[in-house]
Structure 1
Amino acid sequence: MASPWTGIVEDARHYPSPHNSQPIVLGVEDDRTATVYYDLRRGLPAESFGIPFGHVCAGVFLAGLDVVARAHGFAVTETLDHAEMDFTRLDRDPADHLHRLGRVALRPHAVTADDREALAGFTARRTSRRPYDATLVDESAVSAAVDIAAASGHRFRTTADRATVDEIVRVNQETLFDDLRNDAVHEEILHWLRFSKRQAAETGDGLSAETMLMPGPVLRFAMEHRGLWEAPGVGGVFKRVYLSTMRGVRQLGWLEGPFSTPAEYVEAGRVFMRVWLDFTARGIALHPFGTVITNPRSHAAFVERAGVDESDGRMAWMLFRFGHSAPPPLAHRRPASAMTIGTDR
């Protein structure tokens, strides 16, 4: 791989992705240009809205790439395709697994202290599934999130109403069990679960039991024996373990905005990443409740409880808890070499 991509990719690989699947691939063409792909083998097509969230992930990556490149002395320019993702390509030809997102180019940029600080925040960012401490964040953080979202035509909303928070947390918990009754979703999630520290380190991806704060054997048994969830004893134990990680949730936030085309999905991902990085800089933890958004029944329950207006092509497309928690465990990442390819495409 040509410099300066070496250092940029080494840092950019820390972007967040659904199930920590890390689907973004860079085809480095020369020391200033690269093609960005989405690896369809690492997508989540079984879930409702799983395909649109492939483009959201691309937006998250591109927002992070911009932060990283600036700290390395480059600004990023983009020429994106915004074509729909077609996962049926994998059935026709498994080798045809790279969906082209577009091209990025680097141009010189004078690094500032703010750029270096932003990179430190990017590499420090983690999803925190730990219990939160039941305190509200400073109002200035909420105001900043509102401004970040508004700059791209989106709206950040939040609630600290205890009844509403408790109800949506309950919906999130129920969604897990509802989703896994779907055979395709169950198989997809099983594919990405890592039941031991060793397995998580070896694959460098996926949802590890450690980051989910679940004992590996308990998680494995529960996921491989989903028919027992409703049984007395076993199902109750798993649900109690899962809910214990949700202690202290005092505040929920969500993002609303245009969400009906690939271009809008990408922009949504940028907005989410910018809000997340601003929270990180303020010492605020965040944990997306993605399945509440992608599960149709849970989405409807959330929209009704939160009073969301989804008319005119707008949607509440991201929901998360945020607040203060102890530092979460490290989620592993694949090496930089795993997300780069040569120039023969």
Structure 2
Amino acid sequence: MTEQPGAGLPGPWTAILDEARRYPSPHNSQPITVRVHDDRRAEFFYDLDRGLPAENFGIPFAHVCAGVFLESLATVAAAHGWAVRETLRLAGMDFSSPQRQHLLGGLELTPAPVTDAAREQMAAFRRRRTSRRPYDRRLVDRAVLEEVPALAGGMGQRFGCTDEQVLVDDLIRINQETLFDDLRDDAVHEEILTWIRTSKRQAAATRDGLSAETMLIPGPLLRIAMRHRWLWDLPLVGGLFRRVYLATMRGVRELGWLTGPFETPADHVEAGRCFLRLWLAFTRHGVDLHPFGTVITNPRSHAAFVERTGIDESGGRMAWMLFRYGTGKPPPRARRRTLDAMLLDRETTAVAS
């Protein structure tokens, strides 16, 4: 009989972590690792080899990813009858450190009753996925757009949105141009290349990264476009790349964004928790979502986004997330690494914090 991944873990950790590992992460890099100590206690880490330090705000978004994971873990644990108590250690990350596992903190499980709300949230977590498919041009039910701002406000964030088609189209254009702009940065280009999966075989082998299948771009075209970036500047070839990319954006009627505190690692973690909670709210209502991360991390695009929307970033607040949302055909599911790949043994050395 084949041994199940994580089968040797004590207590409920196998069941909880095997579902929590499906948390969303930038470039589907899946950087969170866990060391389980006993049936109630564990530590979690950020694998620096799976980070995105070349991008502007790449390091802050490492802590955003940690927040997304913590909200995912809490969601799964609640449906299994557990609450998660955290002891966070939010030191700055040094991506040049020889010790590649950066300690983020301790985790402890405590028994908790399973509520109907916890079951509903878990169902949404299981259904959640990034949809890069064209949308069907239907506006989202206004009741959803009443629930989401309240959730964001309760976590110190402000949810903004627009269904003004001219503005939506402008921001989509900014997002598309950002990709071309990022490819001109040698460090960012090299980083992106490490996460591109141009065939189903490659995606199945690594079980991570941005696959051609989920990006809805033919694998050979994606391979050429990413490895020969000078082609983007040729009128005919560059125009083809742009048309293929923009074809996935058909039918987008609405965009949303989040603005809130974004100065410290603690801010970044709370931002990540908020984003996952909002994503699950959209999912509960049958609404798809696709983050436009590069608009935030690219300085020129960020400035254009903020100027075009009139967002106020004073007082330590930042527009740190932009995304499209809507309805359409179910997207392909991105692959995830196995539970065993997420687990650390007790001898693994971590960065002190």
The TM-score bracket by the shorter chain reads: over 0.9
Question: Corresponding residue for 1:224?
Answer: 227
Question: Corresponding residue for 1:61?
Answer: 69
Q: Deviation digits for residues 177-233 of structure 1, max 9, x if unmatched?
A: 000100110000000000011111111100000000000000001111111111132
Question: Corresponding residue for 2:31?
Answer: 23
Q: Which of 104, 113, 116 is matched with 1:101 structurally? A: 104
> 1:78-89, aligned counterparts within 5 Å?
78-89=86-97
Question: Corresponding residue for 2:207?
Answer: 204
Give 1:140's aligned amino acid: A
Q: Give secondary structure in 2 for the equivalent of 1:138.
A: coil
Distance 1:87 1:299 in 2: 24
Question: Corresponding residue for 2:137?
Answer: 134
Distance 2:214 2:240 in 1: 19
Question: Corresponding residue for 2:280?
Answer: 277
Q: Which of 115, 121, 124 is matched with 1:121 structurally? A: 124
Q: Give secondary structure in 2 for the equivalent of 1:31.
A: coil
Structure 1 residue 6 corresponds to structure 2 residue 9? no
Q: Give secondary structure in 2 for the equivalent of 1:210.
A: helix
Taking only aligned residues, the RMSD between alpha carbons, in angstroms, comes to 0.8
State the 1:114 CA deviation. Answer: 2.6
State the 1:343 CA deviation. Answer: 2.6
Q: Which of 146, 149, 160 is matched with 2:149 structurally? A: 146
State the 1:342 CA deviation. Answer: 2.1
State the 1:119 CA deviation. Answer: 1.3
Question: Corresponding residue for 2:179?
Answer: 176
Structure 1 residue 343 corresponds to structure 2 residue 346? yes
Question: Corresponding residue for 1:70?
Answer: 78
Runs (5+) with no aligned partner, structure 2:
1-8
Contact kept, 8 Å, 1:84 with 1:262, in 2: the verdict is yes
State the 1:105 CA deviation. Answer: 0.4
Contact kept, 8 Å, 1:66 with 1:76, in 2: the verdict is yes
Q: Which of 162, 167, 170 is matched with 2:165 structurally? A: 162
Distance 1:199 1:113 in 2: 40
Question: Corresponding residue for 1:252?
Answer: 255
Q: Give secondary structure in 2 for the equivalent of 1:255.
A: strand
Distance 2:137 2:127 in 1: 23
Q: Give secondary structure in 2 for the equivalent of 1:100.
A: strand
Q: Deviation digits for residues 293-340 of structure 1, max 9, x if unmatched?
A: 000000000000001000110000000000111100010000011111
Distance 2:115 2:201 in 1: 39
Runs (5+) with no aligned partner, structure 1:
none
Q: Give secondary structure in 2 for the equivalent of 1:139.
A: coil
Contact kept, 8 Å, 1:259 with 1:315, in 2: the verdict is yes
Distance 2:19 2:119 in 1: 12
Number of residue pairs matched?
Answer: 340
Give 1:154's aligned amino acid: Q
When normalised by structure 1's length, the TM-score is 0.97
Distance 1:31 1:180 in 2: 46
Contact kept, 8 Å, 1:60 with 1:266, in 2: the verdict is yes
Give 2:337's aligned amino acid: R
Distance 2:240 2:211 in 1: 19
Distance 1:339 1:193 in 2: 20
Give 1:206's aligned amino acid: G
State the 1:112 CA deviation. Answer: 2.4
Distance 1:35 1:13 in 2: 15
Q: Deviation digits for residues 227-252 of structure 1, max 9, x if unmatched?
A: 11111322111111001001111000
Contact kept, 8 Å, 1:173 with 1:243, in 2: the verdict is yes
State the 1:162 CA deviation. Answer: 1.1
Question: Corresponding residue for 2:5?
Answer: none
Give 2:242's aligned amino acid: K
Q: Deviation digits for residues 114-166 of structure 1, max 9, x if unmatched?
A: 32222121011000000011111111111111011111111001011111111
Question: Corresponding residue for 1:331?
Answer: 334
Distance 2:10 2:159 in 1: 40
Give 2:243's aligned amino acid: R
Distance 1:343 1:4 in 2: 18
Structure 1 residue 45 corresponds to structure 2 residue 53? yes
Structure 1 residue 288 corresponds to structure 2 residue 291? yes
Distance 1:238 1:315 in 2: 31
Contact kept, 8 Å, 1:29 with 1:342, in 2: the verdict is no
When normalised by structure 2's length, the TM-score is 0.95
Give 2:269's aligned amino acid: V
Distance 1:114 1:142 in 2: 19
Q: Deviation digits for residues 55-81 of structure 1, max 9, x if unmatched?
A: 000000000100000111100111101
